[in-house]
Structure formats: structure tokens, C-alpha cells
Amino acid sequence: MTTAIRAKGAAKTNVDKFLTLLRVLLIGAISVGLLAFIAQQIDPGNAFAKWTHDGQEANRLTGEQFKGLIVSGLSQGAMYGLIALGYSMVYGVLGFINFAHGEVFMVGAFTGFIMSNKFDEAGLWEGGAFIPTVLFTVLIATLIATGLAVLMERVAYRPLRGSPRLIPLITSIGVSFFIQNAVILLFGAGAKSYPPNPDWLQDDWILGIEGVKIVVIIVAAISMAGLWYFVERTKTGKAMRAVAEDKEIASLMGINVNRTIVTTFAVGGAMAGIGGMLWGLLFRSVIATTGFLPGIKAFTAAVVGGVGNLGGAMAGGVALGGAESLAPLTLLEPLGISGVSQLRDAVSFVLLILVLLIKPTGLFGERLSSDDRA
């Protein structure tokens, strides 16, 4: 391999200089924002805060608000992590970004919506029947999401194996578009509401944190642990890692490459399905475009953690969720930027760019086969 490895003390080209400047500026802005935040926590009326807020005092964040931000960041991040697993696994094995993975997540959430409403009409979405009903709904949503992921692989991606890198990526954009609009046409374009959760789920459980958020975090952690066990400890998981390393050699070792790839899609789809259902329980609203942004952000999470690295994907998800939740109020607001909540999405993209600029292999390193690293 003659992959170019960049020098540490390389002669600087103009582009390099610009990138260095960009890194410095971004990190500088973040540091200034953080310092301003700390300053305003100590004294909301400090000179810098007054200057950035047109002479007004800054709003100090209360501990309660801070906790709220962290918890919602965590629960959102857990979901990003679940979706990111699918991206990460498929990227690890096939070396392409399955752009349509976010739609699998959306279909999981949609299935949850349809079933939960039917159950609600039958009076099964409350009282003692709630837990078995939810479990059943999660099961079906997961199955449907899995089925969709497998179907996608069979119809759109398998015929393209071995074609130039960008071809499957472009195809997956088309698949994503198609599924999104098919859902709009089949089920209508409006937002769909889940039936209300039972009160005990919305109540504060410990430390004044809503039960549903705790459930989301716990379920995500359990799924993650299950996946980890599957990939690291079972025979199928080993086959998966072997295929990720080198498809040809793996097939020579008697591994059914096709089936392993399908399994990869299936497992990724299942995770996205669970994620979709959790999304439904947490936000209680789903719309055909629900999958798009979380999908992109989950990919961001996968890159932040290091593509192909499952633990990294989960950690990346949590980091992203946290950053997205905290950064607007702790970095941007102290700088005097107004309407920061609108910039949430921008925060995650900036984080993606920042990570790729500073550590392109992600925080925990990539695990890819050698020909995918090129």
C-alpha cells in the first residue's frame, strides 16, 4: 500500500495554513465560549457578558437546568448511538455509508406509532397491560426495521458490490429518498402522535429525572451490551469481524460472506428499530422526515467515535447528544448569540468537521479493513 501518510513537520501549503488557522479559530471560539460561560455562572453581570449581551446581564444556568440538559443530551445521545451502530457495522463490513439507515430508524418509529395507536384504541396502552404491549410493539418494530434493512441490502446494495466506492453511496441516497416519500404517500405527510405514556413513566424516578428518559438510557445500554456480546463472543460475530477484515480470505475460510453481510444489515436494522421505538416513547411524535437528521447525526456519532468501532459508536452518540444539548447554552449563548436553540443541528455538524479536522480516525480509532482506509 502506498497510502500517503501526512508528515508531522510537513512543509506547509496554503491549504495547510488555512486549516491550521481554522483549527485554532474553532478551538479558540470554544475556549472563549466556555470561559465566558464559567464567568457568567460566577457573575452574570460581568463585563464580558454585558458586552456580548448588549448591556444586559447574562442568564445564569441553574443546577436544575443544567441537569435537564445533561439528561436529555444523554437520552438523545443513547438513541444516536443505537443508530450509529448500524452505520458503523455496515461501514466496517462493506466500506460504504448506508445513507438510508436513518430511514430504517424512522420506519421503526412509524411501526411503533401504528401499533401503539391500535393498542391504545383497544385499551391496552395503560395499566397492567402496558408493559407487555410495549414489549410486543418493540419486538414488531424491530422485526420490521430488520426486514427493511435486509430487503434494502438485497435489492439495492448486493448487485453493487465491487463497484466504485461512491456508487453504493449514491444509491443509498436514492433509497433514503424513496422510503421517505413512500412513507409520506402511504401514511400521510403530517406528524403522527404516539398515545400518551402512563403517568408513572412520565414521573420523576430518581434525582428528579423522568422515568422515560431513564428507560431509554437503560434499554440502549442493554442493547449495546447484547450487540457487543453478539459481535465479540458468538461465532456469527466472529465471522462478521473476519468479513470486515478481508472478504476474500473470509470466504476461503469457509465463511458465507453473503449471509454474514445480511446479518450485519439485520443487526444494524434491529438496533435502529429499537432506537426508533425509543424515540417514539420519548418524543411521542413521528413524521416521515424523522429519520433524516438523526440518521446524519448518527453517522456523525459513528465518525466521532471512530467508524467500525462499536464502543466508539455508542460513546460518539452520547458525546454528540451531550454536545448538542449543552453547547447552545454553554458555548454559544455566553458569546451573545441569540436564538441558540435553532443552531443545535449546526452544532453537531461543526463537531463532525472539528473531529475530522483534528482526529480523522475518530476519538477511539477506526477499525476498517486495509482497502477501506484508502
Q: Does 3 bind another protein (CB under 8 A)?
A: yes
Q: Which is nearer to another protein, 201 or 355 (CB)?
A: 355
Query: What is the closest distance, in whole angstroms, from the C-beta atom of residue 190 to another protein in the complex?
Result: 9
Q: Does 323 bind another protein (CB under 8 A)?
A: no
Q: Which residues contact 311 (CB under 8 A, 6 or more apart)?
A: 228, 305, 364
* Nearest CA-CA partner of 370 in 212, 211, 245: 245
b/e 79-117 (16+ beta carbons within 10 angstroms → b):
bbbbbbbbbbbbbbbbbbbbbbbbbbbbbbbbbbbbbbe
Sequence-ordered strand ranges (E) for 225-356: 285-286
Site map for another protein, 159-198, x if CB under 8 A?
xx--xxxxxxxxx-xxxxxxxxxx--xxxx----------
* Contacting another protein within 86-115 (CB under 8 A): 96-97, 114
Q: Does 300 bind another protein (CB under 8 A)?
A: yes
* Nearest CA-CA partner of 320 in 292, 294, 288: 294
Q: Does 342 bind another protein (CB under 8 A)?
A: yes
Query: What is the closest distance, in whole angstroms, from the C-beta atom of residue 208 to another protein in the complex?
Result: 30
Q: Does 38 bind another protein (CB under 8 A)?
A: no
Site map for another protein, 351-370, x if CB under 8 A?
-xx--xx--x----------
Contact (CB, 8 A) for 299 and 85: no
* Nearest CA-CA partner of 40 in 22, 26, 61: 61
Contact (CB, 8 A) for 106 and 290: yes
Query: What is the closest distance, in whole angstroms, from the C-beta atom of residue 92 to another protein in the complex?
Result: 13
Query: What is the closest distance, in whole angstroms, from the C-beta atom of residue 135 to another protein in the complex?
Result: 21
Query: What is the closest distance, in whole angstroms, from the C-beta atom of residue 151 to another protein in the complex?
Result: 11
Contact (CB, 8 A) for 224 and 85: yes
Q: Does 70 bind another protein (CB under 8 A)?
A: no
Q: How far apart are CA 365 and CA 8, in angstroms?
A: 19
Q: How far apart are CA 271 and CA 294, in angstroms?
A: 14
Q: Does 345 bind another protein (CB under 8 A)?
A: yes
Residue from 262, 329, 346, 363 touching another protein (CB under 8 A): that is: 346
Contact set with another protein (CB under 8 A): 1-11, 13, 15, 18-19, 22, 96-97, 114, 117-118, 156, 159-160, 163-171, 173-182, 185-188, 292, 296, 299-300, 303, 337-340, 342-343, 345-346, 349-350, 352-353, 356-357, 360, 371, 374
